[in-house]
Amino acid sequence: MQAAASTMGILEIVVLILIGGALGGAAEFLRRFSFADGRLVLLYGSVDGSEAERIEKRVGFGSAALLLLFAMTIGFAGALGVQFVLVTLDAVKILDTPEHKLFLLSISAAAGFGARQLLIKLSHKLEEQIRAAEEKAVAAGRKAESAAALATTTSRESVYDAQFVNSVESVIRGEAGPATTEHVLHRLREITAEDPLRGAFAIPLSFLLRNRGRLPEALDVIERFLRAKEAVGETDEKYGSALYNKACFLALRFAQSGNDADRKAALETLERSLKVNDDNWTYALVDDDLASLREDQAFKALAGSAPDWARKQ
């Protein structure tokens, strides 16, 4: 009866693993060598092995020896890593037999051979994950900063707008001094240039410009606001109010120039404004800005269609 084979000692196992890893690392290293022009050429292939990404490095025998030692060290590490996994999983039991020794040597050599490629892949993967994590962190930080800045800006603008609206109203009522009036006009121009959709400021600006005899500027402000509204498809109450102001400005220009194109444009714009916002009837029948149109038959016909509540004012 044959006696059972004994288990190999730890030292012997380690020695076989290191030998196998060194052989695998050396084999992988030598696989990348060629001999050209009397010198060794070491090919640093890409991770996926594509020829397009190959880089050649010409080395002397001394450098080659050092690189070989480095490759064998990587082979050691790869072989030890694989064997550690196998032992941890209890996947293999190494006995003191030629077959088991050969198996251990083969596994170690294979692990040493593939260690460099595995190391490169793991390194690239880790770099990608770290880069992705950093990008997410930076994006999240920027998003948080933007949200905080927006919240602060919105809060400040709300307070500022409330204060500024009071200043605008005082200018419209004629209660503000020259310095305040010029400041309000300057600031209104800045706001409407930055955001033409700010109807709460565009309409008062046009009104103030008209009161100061700057009719072309007043019309330009209203036109920009109307174009901005039309670009986003908004035809709300402010759009109707802006149309009414434009009609008034065109009527005033007609009174100054007598240009029939201004008369027609004023009537058409006035009719549109009344359709968009019938509250404009409150002013249309009595507004002095429209005085140049009152004897016009088209205006009389339009006035004839006014609702009863507008006629009774």
- Examine the pLDDT at 264 and tell me if it is beyond 90: yes
Mean pLDDT, rounded, for 43-62: 46
Strand partners, 175: none
pTM score of the predicted model = 0.48
The answer to whether the beta carbons of residues 194 and 157 sit under 8 Å apart is: no
Residues 6+ apart with CB under 8 A from 55: 43, 44
Mean pLDDT, rounded, for 227-240: 86
Mean pLDDT, rounded, for 9-33: 65
Check residue 194 and give its pLDDT: 78
Q: How far apart are CA 306 and CA 248, in angstroms?
A: 18
Listed range (56-60, 131-135, 234-238, 239-243) with the worst mean pLDDT = 56-60
In the numeric block, which tokens belong to residue 68?
A: 């070989």
Angle, helices 260-276 vs 297-304, to 10°: value is 10
The answer to whether the beta carbons of residues 170 and 180 sit under 8 Å apart is: yes
For the chain, give every domain's residue range: 10-140, 177-311
Which residue has better confidence, 142 or 94?
Answer: 94
| Superfamily of chain region 177-311 | Tetratricopeptide repeat domain (1.25.40.10)
In the numeric block, which tokens belong to residue 139?
A: 């994006």
Which residue has better confidence, 200 or 303?
Answer: 303
Check residue 1 and give its pLDDT: 38
- Examine the pLDDT at 54 and tell me if it is beyond 60: no
